[in-house]
Structure 1
Amino acid sequence: MRMDFLTLFPEMFHGVLNTSILKQAQDKKAVEYQVTDFRSYSENKHQKVDDYPYGGGAGMVLTPQPLFDAVEDASAASHAKPRVILLCPQGRRFTQETAEELAEEKHLIFICGHYEGYDERIREQLVTDEISIGDFVLTGGELGSMVIADSVTRLLPEVLGNKDSAVTDSFSTGYLEHPHYTRPADFRGMKVPDVLLSGHHKRIEEWRRKEALKRTYERRPDLLDIERLHAEEKKWLDEIKNSRDS
């Protein structure tokens, strides 16, 4: 996969893209990152990329020319048709499902804006996806694009050391992830559940599924689709509810 980041602040990406899993992914040739300062595409003699909005109003608006040229150049660098992602609080909410969808692509281009907003022609003609990482406003799109890049990169083949790690993550299964424990088995009187020390793989797997269901019910009940639960899961959910009421 290739990921292009079009930004006015390329220095923001250096530490993130060259650390931990994102760096390992580059080393393994699973992904290539390209960070471009789209100010360099400005045809304005002062390299301005923003202007006052027609009709008046507060703030400045990004002009179309630099971003059109930058996206066209980035698109030409790959044989695959890119998904062009505009980081925007008006976009659809980013989820694990969206990450899994984007991980199937060969080329992603992130437009990281600043100021009051974008000229509407950028949205209408350049962008394939408008994405928000949450119902809040950031100074620019850089942090959001890095969040998405991290989430997508770890799903690419061979990036994580254990191929099952991403499959069992929270949200990938539809539930929040079950609790984890490691050595020592008894820490200051706080003990690891016996089932995890039993070596009985079927019972361990059942415990993990139950705990994932319980954690989801307690913390994110909005994720539960009761109608799609298996009969066994509905029985577990009833037990969870009864234990909380008693």
Structure 2
Amino acid sequence: MTWTASVLTLYPEMFPGPLGVSLAGRALQDGLWSLETVQIRDFATDRHRSVDDTPAGGGAGMVMRADVLAAAVDDMLERRPGVPMLAMTPRGRPLTQAMVRELAAGPGLSVLCGRFEGIDERLFEARPVVPVSIGDYVLSGGETAAMVLLDACVRLLPGVMGAPTSGEEESFEAGLLEYPHYTRPQEWEGRTIPEVLRSGDHAKIAAWRKARAVEDTRSRRPDLMERHWGAPRQPPSGERQDDEGELT
């Protein structure tokens, strides 16, 4: 069965967009995955095809209506039972590589793209829609976030990447950032490729890469070290805490 992505959006013309080129695009052409878009406005019931309204309690902007979105979601759940339904929103759970691997191993997914000030919260209370965020920032809409999610999944599908092991030694796969990479020329602007990488000693190379992955993760993403390796964060200043919790 082909891995299939269904995108519920107000702007179906945005797709496939970047997903139509490079690895994802070639895989789409080769039938390794498929993509469909659903226009949310098709489920509106008034003559203006309204999908939003003013926020309860006042405030700026508009909110996507639960009744219209529920109609679109119900149609998708009926057509694709058992397929995960996600909604891209800054209020969602953080997207992780583990989540991506789980989604890529399934039959596909359905993605609801939020717009305006957000989605009526009652939709998440009434339907099995999982809110997901790609980061601690706000976009104009969920479409670009959905593209990030789909690209992350598609590249892991069988046959998409050239070598089956291409996705194994990457950032976040083992709770660490990936080690740094180098290529020719051997010397560039006075900087040379680390000697160990030119040694041909695979054991030393593997040890160096692991050490650099740990070092770079500790300095750039201490939150990952704390989450996956149990290493406590150090204060940004580099100061250490004593047993009483005081900075020393």
Aligned to 2:176: 175
Distance 1:85 1:184 in 2: 45
Structure 1: distance between partners of 2:229 and 2:142 = 36
Aligned to 2:142: 141
Deviation at 1:13, TM superposition (A): 2.1
CA 1:202–1:69 in structure 2 vs 1: closer, same or farther (change >3 Å)? same
Q: Which amino acid is the alignment partner of residue 21 of structure 1?
A: L
Q: Under a length normalisation based on structure 1, what TM-score does the superposition of the two structures give?
A: 0.84
SS of the counterpart of 1:81? coil
* 1:81 counterpart = 2:82: yes
Q: Which has the higher helix share?
A: 1
Matches within 5 A, 1:90-239: 90-225=91-226, 228=229
Unmatched 5+ stretches in structure 2: 232-237, 239-248
Structure 1 vs Structure 2: percent identity of aligned residues?
40
Backbone CA RMSD of aligned residues? 2.3
* Aligned position for 1:8: 10
- Going from structure 1 to structure 2, the CA distance change for 1:156 and 1:73 (only over 3 Å counts) comes to same
Kindly state the Cα deviation for residue 227 of structure 1 after the two structures are TM-superposed.
9.0
CA distance in 2, matches of 1:18, 1:119: 31
Q: Deviations over 1:1-60 (max 9, x none)?
A: 111111111122232221112112213332211112111222211111112334444322
Q: If the length of structure 2 is used for normalisation, what is the TM-score?
A: 0.84
**Residue aligning to 2:234:** none
Contact 2:175 2:228 in 1 (8 A): no
Deviation of residue 148 (structure 1)?
0.9
Distance 1:27 1:116, change over 3 A: same
Cα distance, 1:211 vs structure 2: 1.2
The alignment partner of 1:161 has SS state of coil
Structure 1, gaps ≥5 residues long = 235-240, 242-246
Aligned length: 230
Once residues 194 and 61 of structure 1 are traced to their aligned partners in structure 2, the CA distance between those partners, rounded to angstroms, is 57
Q: Is the 8 A contact 1:22 1:153 kept in 2?
A: yes
